[in-house]
Amino acid sequence: MAEFTMELNDEQKEVRDWLHGFAADVIRPAAAEWDEREETPWPVIQEAAKVGIYSLDFYAQQYFDQTGLGIPMAMEELFWGDAGIALSIVGTGLAAVGVLANGTEEQIGTWVPQMYGDANDVKLAAFCSSEPDAGSDVASMRTRAVYDEAKDEWVINGTKTWATNGGIANVHVVVAVVDPELGSKGHASFIIPPNTPGLSQGQKFKKHGIRASHTAEVILDNVRVPGSCLLGGKEKLDERLARARERARAGGERVKNAAMATFEASRPAVGAMAVGTARAAYEVALDYAKTREQFGRPIIDNQGVAFQLAEMRTQIDAARLLVWRASWMAINGRPFTAAEGSMSKLFASETAKKVTAQAIQILGGNGYTREYPVERMHRDSAIYTIFEGTSEIQRLVIARTLSGMPIR
């Protein structure tokens, strides 16, 4: 087990500086254009693939870093560049995590490489969990997967929404209900291979922020996939469902489903994204406050501005520490006995919203225009308190974990 440390090693520092350079030289110059276009920034993704950032190898190296700091460090630097473009680059990772966390070795080896493709033929993947009537309320999920034993196929019907890369992805990972009587415990995740009949893109959303990231509905109409596309395999699923039924009869403990396992693994990473956006806005505000003069002196000479910057930096550093702690615990198999993963996402997400708003205030009228990036950063920051578990859901998870009570 790696010791917890707040210091990156030399290799991690080298990767961080490399990512920072890519974010500064490639992502930032393109940020405003792709935000306005509201389209997937394929040229930037291809550049990321050429240098090795958008690749299975790079993602795996960071994911399996035994210090736990590889992924949060990478996310912070890329999202420091721009949240929308960065999400287009890392969005495939959520689907990859779904397979890595729940799939067999054969499934991981078969499907994760197809999610990325290569520098000459870039591919995308999408993780599809939310539905029009089932976002935070996962127990209300309606997408159904029915097993056709004669053909060893699963037949999937339903509509997914808010799917990053939904409909344009090469590979989709879809969460569906296999046993409605078990509620959220009766869910399973499935790989939908490329060009599977019955899968189509529904509405593409026009969003407040992260507009360079493609978000859409995914419609599944009698989609048939081989039995081998059930993540973890049918034997493992049957065992899990049997335990869930037994515990339900006995009024016993919760059983985690595949979607929730994916979200637990990714929450600190989302926190790191929020830290990157917050840090970017803080740096713009700090530079502006040093150079902008009012009444014959830089505005940072005023306590009202200086104290805001001090608070912003303090909150950013505190958020990063929570993210790093949760990331270290996750990679080293330490259980989140106090919901540390949710804590990291909650605090970092709320920090990003607050810090970007303060940055606009420090820039005044300039901050409210698109001539300066803090306006875009503020729009982007709103998503962190919403996707992969709203701030309200994080508070509920933390409260339930601390109290041991079924708080509603």
Q: Report, as residue numbers or ranges, the catalytic residues.
A: 388
Q: Among 160, 184, 157, 186, which residue's Cα sits nearest to residue 172?
A: 160
How many Å apart are CA 221 and CA 61, to the nearest integer? 37
Would you say how long the chain is, in residues?
408
Place of tokens 């520490």: 321
How many Å apart are CA 274 and CA 10, to the nearest integer? 25
How many Å apart are CA 171 and CA 145, to the nearest integer? 17
**Helix (H) or strand (E) segment spanning residue 330:** helix 303-331
Q: Among 374, 371, 358, 348, which residue's Cα sits nearest to residue 281?
A: 374
What lies within 8 Å, CB to CB, of 352 at 6+ separation is: 274, 275, 277, 278, 281, 319, 381, 384
Residue 29, SS3?
Answer: helix
How many Å apart are CA 155 and CA 222, to the nearest integer? 6
Give residue 53's identity as a one-letter amino acid code. I
With beta carbons less than 8 A apart as the criterion, state whether 255 and 247 touch.
yes
